[in-house]
């Protein structure tokens, strides 16, 4: 399959960054204000800030690329057929947003024929933005970043996120083995542990309960920083992905062997 042109990806990345900034402006107007919170069918919260910020993102993307499809957290999947699909989570971490602490972000990624090719992770209230496009490296506030060169689990810092499915599975003890064998265990969660991994401050991330919209942009960023990003079984990401194993190259293979078939 022919790869997307780098010049096109640079242009699309600039559009995605503009879309993230448009969302940040909407979010800033609502953050730490009195907002009504509704509960969606999947029991997750939604506010007017989620809806308005996705609308702002869609306006920017739609103006630049009207032929592209968009899959958003609040408005769902467009019906149009396209080789290009934007994946949008306007506020990943709405529970944090409504409780007034800044561990939430805007996630925007672009997929071409099923392969992720660029991503922007904008944590505007936290004060961090990262971005990447295929073949162009990963960037943190204008500086190119790389994962760490950690070689052994005994020297590694490992972070966990959403783990309910793993906790209910026979593989829960495997996580205990990782915890006991690592140098340091943390639970940064959400966008933040992926940012830390990409810039060399963390060595592995494990999650069992995610949505592709939560992680698509972060996967591009971690990969372009030199990391490996799969699901917990070591499989490639797709629209149905629900788990994550992201790590520096030297650690990913051993962790993948530990968690392969974790649901069995």
- Shared domain for 110 and 20, answered yes or no, is yes
Same domain, 26 and 132: yes
Phi and psi, residue 112, nearest 5°: -115, 115
SS3 233: coil
- Note the pTM of the prediction, 2 decimals: 0.96
Q: CATH code at 59?
A: 3.30.540.10
Helix (H, G, I), strand (E, B) or coil at 240: coil
**CATH at 183:** 3.40.190.80
Could you list the residue range(s) of the whole structural domain that residue 42 is in? 6-136
- Inside any domain, residue 1: no
Residue with tokens 């971005």: 131
**Phi, psi for 209 (deg, rounded to 5):** -140, 85
Pair type for strands 84-92 and 115-123: unpaired
Judgement on whether residues 113 and 224 belong to the same structural domain of the protein: no
Question: Length of the chain in residues, anyone?
Answer: 264
Tell me the per-residue pLDDT of 187-237, one tens digit each, with 9 for 90 and over. 998 999 999 999 999 999 999 999 999 999 999 999 999 999 999 999 999
Q: At 251, list the tokens.
A: 């650690």
SS3 51: helix
Name the band, by pLDDT with cuts 50, 70 and 90, for residue 38: confident
The DSSP bridge partners found for residue 100 are: none
pLDDT value of position 141: 84
> Is residue 141 one of the residues assigned to a domain?
no
Q: Among residues 50, 39, 31, which one has the least CA distance to residue 89?
A: 50
Could you tell me if residue 264 is inside a domain? no
Average pLDDT of the segment spanning 112-125? 97
Give the residue carrying structure tokens 């490996």.
228
Domain count of the chain? 2
Structure tokens at 23: 């969302």
- Residues 59-80, buried b or exposed e (16+ Cβ, 10 A)? ebbeeebeebbbbbbbeeebee
């Amino acid at each position: 399959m022919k790869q997307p042109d780098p010049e096109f990806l640079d242009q699309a990345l600039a559009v995605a960054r503009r879309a993230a900034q448009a969302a940040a402006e909407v979010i800033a107007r609502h953050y730490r204000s009195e907002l009504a919170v509704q509960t969606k069918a999947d029991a997750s919260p939604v506010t007017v800030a989620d809806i308005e910020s996705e609308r702002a993102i869609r306006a920017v993307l739609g103006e630049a690329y009207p032929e592209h499809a968009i899959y958003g957290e609040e408005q769902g999947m467009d019906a149009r057929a396209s080789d290009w699909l934007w994946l949008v989570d306007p506020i990943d971490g709405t529970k944090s947003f409504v409780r007034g602490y800044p561990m939430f972000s805007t996630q925007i990624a672009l997929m071409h024929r099923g392969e992720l090719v660029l991503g922007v992770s904008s944590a505007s209230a936290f004060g961090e933005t990262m971005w990447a496009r295929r073949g162009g490296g990963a960037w943190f506030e204008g500086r190119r970043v790389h994962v760490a060169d950690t070689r052994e689990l005994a020297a590694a810092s490992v972070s966990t996120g959403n783990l309910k499915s793993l906790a209910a599975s026979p593989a829960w003890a495997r996580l205990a083995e990782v915890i006991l064998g690592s140098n340091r265990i943390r639970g940064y969660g959400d966008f933040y542990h992926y940012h830390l991994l990409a810039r060399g401050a963390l060595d592995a991330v494990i999650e069992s309960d995610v949505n592709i919209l939560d992680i698509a942009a972060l996967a591009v960023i971690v990969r372009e920083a030199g990391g490996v990003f799969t699901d917990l079984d070591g499989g490639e990401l797709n629209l149905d992905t629900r788990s994550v194993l992201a790590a520096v190259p030297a650690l990913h293979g051993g962790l993948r062997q530990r968690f392969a078939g974790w649901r069995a």
